[in-house]
Each structure stands twice: as structure tokens, then as C-alpha cells.
């Protein structure tokens, strides 16, 4: 499996705020935002529901990865998506274990396990409301 997800009974904008707050409470920040909906509209004149790809990062974990294997920065940050599905929003986080598992460095794999635990905590908190 490559992702961990939760469906929130919230419209997109409210879900985004909830996710950002929950990430920050767990020492993860949003460092990038790709508005796929806007790109599809601008480049292909294709309309799709709200769909964003975000990058989440904990700088201390990222530092450990890059220190252990400088080129493993290509595997960062941990991506997650928010996509509108009717009046709900699906939140899907990249599972860092298989992605960072591409590295042979023990420290990188240790960080992957720690990052997955953080993401699992975020998901549980989002489920709890």
C-alpha cells in the first residue's frame, strides 16, 4: 500500500483548515501546494472537483533523512492530497515507509517509521473530529 486515508464529512475549505491545524499540532507543516484543479482547467480546459497535492514536512525528520543520505531529499516531503467528493473531502497521505524504504540507509528507514506514526496520529485525530 502507498497511502493512508480518511474521508471527512466537511466541505473542502473546512477540511483543509482542519487538516492544517491537526498537522501543526503534530509538528508537521504544509510546505507546498499544487492546485491540480486549476492546472487542469488552465492547461486542458478540464473541470474537476477541488483537488490539491500538498507537501507536509517536519524539518527535524527531513534533516535526519538528508544527513543520512543527501540524495534522499528526492523522496521528500511527505505528500498528501485533499480532494472533493460531493459534500465530503478525502484526505490521503503518502505512506512514508514504502517511499523512504527505497533508501538503504537505516536512519532513513527509522525516520520513515516515525513519520508514519505521526501521520497515523493525525488520521486518528481527524477521525475523532
Q: What is the pLDDT of residue 111?
A: 98
Condensed to tens digits (0 to 9), the pLDDT of residues 106-118 reads 999 999 999 999 9
Going 127 to 24 to 112 to 36, the CA torsion angle's sign is positive
Q: What average pLDDT does this structure show over 62-80?
A: 97
Domains assigned to the chain: 3-128 (3.30.310.70)
| DSSP code of residue 72 | G
pLDDT digits (tens, 9 = 90+) for 6-47: 999 999 999 999 999 999 999 999 999 999 999 999 999 999
For cell 487538516, name the residue. 19
Q: What is the pTM of this model?
A: 0.94
Q: Please, are residues 125 and 19 in contact by the beta-carbon 8 Å criterion?
A: no
Measured CA to CA, the distance from residue 28 to residue 128 in angstroms comes to: 19
User: Is residue 70 predicted with pLDDT exceeding 90?
Assistant: yes
Amino acid at each position: 500500500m502507498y497511502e493512508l486515508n480518511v474521508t471527512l464529512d466537511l466541505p473542502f475549505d473546512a477540511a483543509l483548515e482542519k487538516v492544517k491545524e491537526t498537522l501543526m499540532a503534530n509538528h508537521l507543516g504544509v510546505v507546498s501546494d499544487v492546485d491540480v484543479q486549476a492546472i487542469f482547467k488552465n492547461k486542458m480546459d478540464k473541470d474537476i472537483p477541488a483537488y490539491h497535492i500538498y507537501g507536509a514536512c517536519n524539518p527535524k525528520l527531513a534533516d535526519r533523512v538528508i544527513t543520512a543520505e543527501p540524495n534522499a531529499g528526492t523522496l521528500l516531503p511527505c505528500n498528501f492530497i485533499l480532494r472533493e467528493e460531493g459534500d465530503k473531502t478525502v484526505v490521503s497521505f503518502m505512506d512514508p515507509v514504502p517511499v523512504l524504504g527505497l533508501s538503504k540507509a537505516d536512519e532513513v528507514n527509522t525516520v520513515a517509521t516515525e513519520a508514519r506514526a505521526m501521520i497515523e496520529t493525525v488520521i486518528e485525530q481527524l477521525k475523532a473530529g
